[in-house]
Structure 1
Amino acid sequence: MTQRTGTTVAVTGGAAGLGYAIAEELVGRGRTVVLLDRDEAALDAAVTSLGAGRVEGAGADLSTVEGVRAAAEVLLARGDVAALVNNAGGWLPGEQYPEAGPDRWLAALTLNLTAPMLLTQLLWPTLAAVSGAVVNIGSSGGLGDTAYGSPEYGAAKAGLRRFTTSLAGRRDVRVMAVVPGWIGLDRGRRQWAALSPHDRAEAGPLVPPEQIASTVRRLLESGRAGEVVHMLRGDQL
């Protein structure tokens, strides 16, 4: 497959954690990156750390449709966005479904599913003009049939994976996904360490964030439409 590159990559949730690792990988390969995040202090720190000449930050709250539309306007105004990484997501703090009220679990569904779908849709004409690409960051929480602590998050991530594969027939924009298990970031390491020895063995080693970032970069460059890469255990990579 012919390698595709673009001018600018937008990374949501890019100020810290996996989003930062993805941005670091892309900047290291010569890409210009726009980080979107609602933590503006962390955004400023990330831009400074990664290099202001190649990285820009934009405040964005993707837990509301209005926030997603505002983020899209910022990116569209640039006119040079050729790729999108839908990385922002996660459990919302506090009670989960069914104890959480509808406003809370709807916000979780918006952040983890509606935001990637809507942001991709709003950027689609711009991306299609340059044969652009989208990579969605899923989760092992959206796989399988076992009990899960946040039903709204699990349902959203399951939907995100199917959203990705449903677009396999499109050739104007390649939409792909990475589905990681527990990631070797601070929170994941704390949670993994708190497990019993048996549960740690069942979970397997944490997935290195830099390997996920490398996979995202590879998909943006040469992945095929609808491709989903599962990275569930660090010892299976």
Structure 2
Amino acid sequence: MHGIVVVTGGAAGLGAVIAETLLAHGHGVLLIDRDLTAARATADDLEARHGSPVAVVAADLSTIDGIQAAADALAGVSGITALVNNAGGWSPGPQYPDAEPDAWLGALTLDLVAPLLLAQRLWPRLAAVGGAGGGVGASGAVVNIGSSGGEGDEPYGSPEYGAAKAGLRRFTTSLGGRADVRVMAVVPGWIGLDRAHRQFAALTAEQQRATGRLIPPQEVADRVLHLLEHGRPGEVVELLE
């Protein structure tokens, strides 16, 4: 059994697929999500199918108080070896500049500040993983889930989300020179979750061609697993086509 990997936004969607993949390959998992009921249901299902306990922390990572509460809860959990910053998304309703500041600041907090602050709070513990001579895969790790929305120079529907995901990628590469904790990222295109498939089906054929393929969630999860076990500091894996 490997150590415990903290997966934010783990109650459903990509986070649940990542958690399932990690458990299947011998990693422990702790889920952070603002929806405690959904997170507990997912944890119970994973425990039943994999035979390993799955811990849950309820926290709203779109607020500084929520991030701090999550970090405080993690301080009482032993055996944490990695963090997957998966939680993210657009704020509902209008986007910048039409959104109220609290709305777009919440999106920036969820998509960029939470990954930075959680990684910082966990950094000393992750840096202690493995010890000297343990090899790359034995060292503590952070994997950030980016987005094609943070790539390129074309207009984008949520400027705050695009800016946050662009910042998340640069945060990752900026730490490429650190040997104590490996900070890496997966940058997928439109992930093929159920809602995405419905939205994609509603597009015209021309819009579908311009959008490209939907990225299977399992493909993203597999890349996360590979980075945790073999990735290099600052490594960014793109899944854009």
TM over 0.5, shorter chain: yes
TM range (shorter): over 0.9
CA deviation profile, 1:156-186 (whole Å, cap 9, x unmatched): 0000000000000000000000000011101
Distance (Å, rounded) in 2 between the aligned partners of 1:95 and 1:6: 43
Distance (Å, rounded) in 2 between the aligned partners of 1:177 and 1:18: 15
RMSD: 1.1
User: Which segment is superposed worse, 106-115 or 190-199?
Assistant: 190-199
For residue 6 of structure 1, report the CA deviation from its aligned partner: 4.2
Aligned partner of residue 76 in structure 2, secondary structure: helix
CA deviation profile, 1:12-52 (whole Å, cap 9, x unmatched): 00010000000000000111100000011111110111116
Partner in structure 2 of residue 228 of structure 1: 236
Gaps in structure 1 of 5+ consecutive residues? none
4+ aligned runs moved over 2 Å, structure 1: none
Partner in structure 1 of residue 88 of structure 2: 89
Partner in structure 1 of residue 135 of structure 2: none
What TM-score, normalized to structure 2?
A: 0.93
| Sequence identity percentage | 63
Q: Is 2:56 the partner of 1:57?
A: yes
Contact 1:14 1:36 in 2 (8 A): yes
Distance (Å, rounded) in 2 between the aligned partners of 1:102 and 1:155: 15
Q: Is 2:80 the partner of 1:47?
A: no
Aligned partner of residue 176 in structure 1, secondary structure: strand
Aligned partner of residue 225 in structure 1, secondary structure: coil
Gaps in structure 2 of 5+ consecutive residues? 130-138
Distance (Å, rounded) in 1 between the aligned partners of 2:177 and 2:92: 37
Amino acid at match of 1:72: A
Specify which of 1, 4, 11 is matched with residue 7 of structure 2: 11
Aligned partner of residue 75 in structure 2, secondary structure: helix
Contact 2:2 2:26 in 1 (8 A): no
Distance (Å, rounded) in 1 between the aligned partners of 2:234 and 2:198: 33
For residue 54 of structure 1, report the CA deviation from its aligned partner: 2.8
Aligned partner of residue 42 in structure 2, secondary structure: helix
- Residues 55-134 of structure 1: matches in 2 within 5 Å? 55-130=54-129, 131-134=139-142
Partner in structure 1 of residue 178 of structure 2: 170
Distance (Å, rounded) in 2 between the aligned partners of 1:107 and 1:171: 32
Amino acid at match of 2:154: T
